[in-house]
Each structure stands twice: as structure tokens, then as C-alpha cells.
Structure 1
């Protein structure tokens, strides 16, 4: 299982949403929304059984897994099985709880054999989760060479632990 944040992972963290024109990256010239989605898609090709749970704040805005997932390329979209936030949850509670706690709660509910989280914010992750976190660069996201190297190694190790 891969818990996937968008901002700071698939594109720079500072994404704004302008009504009528969609999301954009105002503070990182030369960058665009979802610029690293194809890179993640390629990283996951050797692991066809790996599934994605969305752990992004985009869920609070769009409140639908389908609406958020359709922004991803098909190879990622078809892997999405849910999100750490859903309509029945109180958005105020979700805003008040650190991302790592949200992910841990979802891990406890789903009980995956193995899991990994991609996120640019490592603050307040529970100690039990820190070894499952690949922390990305807030601007370069997944494309930072050190992050990409770590992701490949962690995916391979996770696959060796029985997760495809």
C-alpha cells in the first residue's frame, strides 16, 4: 500500500486553486501541477499489486476519491483504493490532526501487509510510522535524486516483504 500526498510530492507544495482555471503553482516558476505523476507511475510498474490510498489535502476540497483520483494518469488512477479522508469524516477534525496520524489511523483500519507513505511534511508523524515515510523535497517533490533513490530502495524492500 502506498499513501500518497500530492503537494510537495507530485508537484511543488505551494499549489493554489483559482476558480474557473483550476490548480496552479504560483511560487515555483517552471513547475506545473502533477509534473511528477508520470515519474511515480514508472516507479510503480514493477509492483502491479501495489495499491494507493490518497492522503492529500485535495480530499478536503473535492471530497470525492473519484474526483481527486481522476486528476492522476491512468496507471496511478487504477491503483487508487480510497483515501485517509472521506465524506463521513468531520473536515475540522481532519484539519486538526497531523497527516501522519491520519495515515496511521488508516493503516490500522486497512491492515496492509506492508505500506509506505510519500509526503513532504514529516512533522508530527507517530514514531511507529516514521520508518514507513519517504519524505520528499517541498519543491522538487519525488524528482529529487535522493528521494527517488530512497523510494526505489523502499519499494524493493517492501516487495521483498510480500507486498506486490
Structure 2
């Protein structure tokens, strides 16, 4: 049984301080001394220990930049695990504000639609933790992300439990 990792990007792979500017290929990180995707190696190492885990992107990047552009921005070894996103992201069909514009609602709807056997959430926002994910969420510090002390170990433990210890 493969775990499904719902991955927040901002606040996990790099600090949450991000600005989206119309026309820019990628958002700008507003936290001196940090860089986009600076924690990707931590996530890669965690996923190496859980080889059957698949990833769903759970981020504002998708509706704002498009699914393809978002996935292309993610480091390659992580990109190969991605099977979708919680929100539609098609640049030709612009994102519209609706009743389902919160990331939490995207997550809820995606879980209902996909019905993953063992979902795990990795995010920096406690508000994203649905009751059904209370025991399978790894919430990290929004500035340190996966570099938060103990976060990588918690994530590996959740994924191994979800994958039946791979």
C-alpha cells in the first residue's frame, strides 16, 4: 500500500515568505539568506526511505503559475514522485475565486475524490490539518520548513507507518 504525501511547498521546502508577481516565471522569496527549495534534499532523503510514496502538490503555486510550471520548478528527484495537485492549475483556464478557494478545502475535496488509502500531510500551516489527518500530519515551522528539528524524522515515521514500513 503506497502512502500519498500531500506536500505544501512554501514553508516546507523553503520559508513561507513568498511574493507572486504577474509575469514572473517563479515567485520571489522574501527571506534573506534563504533560497527556493533549499530543503529539497531533506525531503528527497525522507522519500528514499519510503520508495512507494507518491506526492500531491498542495500549494497556491498551482492556480497562480499553472500545474506544469509548478512541477517543472520543483527539483527533478522530487518531481518524479508527483502525480497531481489538490487544485486545478491550467494557465489557459484561469483560476477563479469560488467557495473552494481555501487550500484546506482543496485538500478535503482531493482526498474525497482520490480516496488515498494512506494520506500524509506535510505543511507549515496547522489550519490545513483536517480531522481525518490529525494522526498523519507533519506540520513544520514556516521559516525553517523541513529543516525544523525533528521534522524529517516525524515525516519518515509517518510515511513508513502509512507504507507498512516499506
TM-score per shorter chain, which class? Answer: 0.7 to 0.9
Q: Structure 1 residues 56, 94: CA separation in 2 closer, same or farther (over 3 Å shift)? A: farther
Tell me if 1:93 matches 2:98: yes
Aligned to 2:70: 68
Q: Structure 1 residues 89, 121: CA separation in 2 closer, same or farther (over 3 Å shift)? A: farther
Alpha-carbon separation, structure 2, partners of 1:72 and 1:90: 21
Displacement of 1:29 after TM fit?
A: 1.8
SS of the aligned residue for 1:150 comes to helix
Q: How does 1:26-105 map to 2 (within 5 A)?
A: 26=30, 28-64=31-67, 66-86=68-88, 87=90, 91-93=96-98, 96-97=101-102, 99-105=103-109
Aligned to 1:158: 162
Alpha-carbon separation, structure 1, partners of 2:20 and 2:128: 26
Q: CA RMSD in A?
A: 2.2
Alpha-carbon separation, structure 2, partners of 1:110 and 1:21: 30
Alpha-carbon separation, structure 2, partners of 1:103 and 1:20: 26
Alpha-carbon separation, structure 1, partners of 2:137 and 2:112: 16
Alpha-carbon separation, structure 2, partners of 1:95 and 1:34: 27
Mark the runs of 5 or more structure 1 residues left unpaired by the alignment. none
The aligned length equals 159
1:84-127 superposed Cα distances (whole Å, 9 cap, x missing partner): 11147953127743x23321211111111211011111126432
Aligned to 2:113: 109
TM, length-normalised to structure 2: 0.84
Tell me if 1:127 matches 2:131: yes
Aligned to 2:10: 7
Q: Structure 1 residues 124, 151: CA separation in 2 closer, same or farther (over 3 Å shift)? A: closer
TM, length-normalised to structure 1: 0.85
